Amino acid sequence: MITTSKLTYAYPGQSPIQFPDVQCGENEHALILGPSGTGKTTLLHLLGGLISPASGEITIGGTSVDKLRGHALDVFRGKRIGIIFQKPHFIRSLTALENLLLTQSLAGNEADKKQAHLLLERLSIGQKANHKTHSMSIGEQQRLAIARALINRPAIILADEPSSALDDQNCQQMIELLLQVANEEKSNLIVVTHDSRIKSMIEKKVFLT
């Protein structure tokens, strides 16, 4: 469950950007579309609690995220939000499995090796658990990024241009996989994209201009 109303964000020395309202009910997913420079990533970061809005409200699973600051916001982000970035980045010094365990422990959860292994299996990269992330293929890295976004069972999964680096086939698979796991975990999936290939796969759309 996610609701925003009258969100604005101001970069220092610039006039505030206004964002259209986003609303997703249970099991509802959304695309955020718009040309470059309209603030798609900014909106995603607002939803993810990476930055705080100048005005307006964000409610995720009953919590007023716009009111949270500092430590409370860090904790909320860790526990309730999973983010998949355009390029998959990981902690280079850790293995795939260790990256997941770290994500658990940063959110204040018990590091659960069994759960992490199961998740990797589910995403068909179980055999890569003890590999360093930079030795994995781009497709495997994307799957690991999904695993990391899911490991703490978040309320919403945010994906920033997840398909831009993938070919058609991988793009399709990636979005299908995301939708599948989001449905299984009962999370809302919100995807920022300008990729026309995935427009048909998610019904709800928010246009930025």
Which residues contribute to the site for another protein (CB under 8 A)? 41-42, 45, 48, 50-51, 70-71, 74-75, 77-79, 83, 85-87, 89-94, 98, 101-108, 111
Q: CB nearer to another protein: give 92 or 169.
A: 92
Q: How far apart are CA 106 and CA 154, in angstroms?
A: 14
Q: How far apart are CA 59 and CA 36, in angstroms?
A: 26
User: C-beta of 82: minimal distance to another protein in Å?
Assistant: 9
| H or E stretch covering 207 | strand 204-207
User: C-beta of 96: minimal distance to another protein in Å?
Assistant: 12
Beta-carbon contacts of 102 under 8 Å, excluding residues fewer than 6 positions away, are 91, 94
User: C-beta of 80: minimal distance to another protein in Å?
Assistant: 10
Q: CB nearer to another protein: give 57 or 74.
A: 74
User: C-beta of 43: minimal distance to another protein in Å?
Assistant: 12
Q: CB nearer to another protein: give 36 or 169.
A: 36
Q: CB nearer to another protein: give 28 or 112.
A: 112
Pairing of strands 30-33, 204-207: parallel
For residue 104, how many other CB atoms are within 10 A of its CB? Answer: 19
For residue 107, how many other CB atoms are within 10 A of its CB? Answer: 20
Q: CB nearer to another protein: give 165 or 201.
A: 165
Query: What are the φ/ψ torsions at residue 65 (nearest 5 degrees)?
Result: -65, -30
- β-sheet bridge partners, residue 33: 207
User: C-beta of 107: minimal distance to another protein in Å?
Assistant: 5
Do the beta carbons of residue 190 and residue 44 sit within 8 Å?
yes
Query: What are the φ/ψ torsions at residue 58 (nearest 5 degrees)?
Result: -130, 125
Q: CB nearer to another protein: give 75 or 177.
A: 75
User: C-beta of 30: minimal distance to another protein in Å?
Assistant: 20
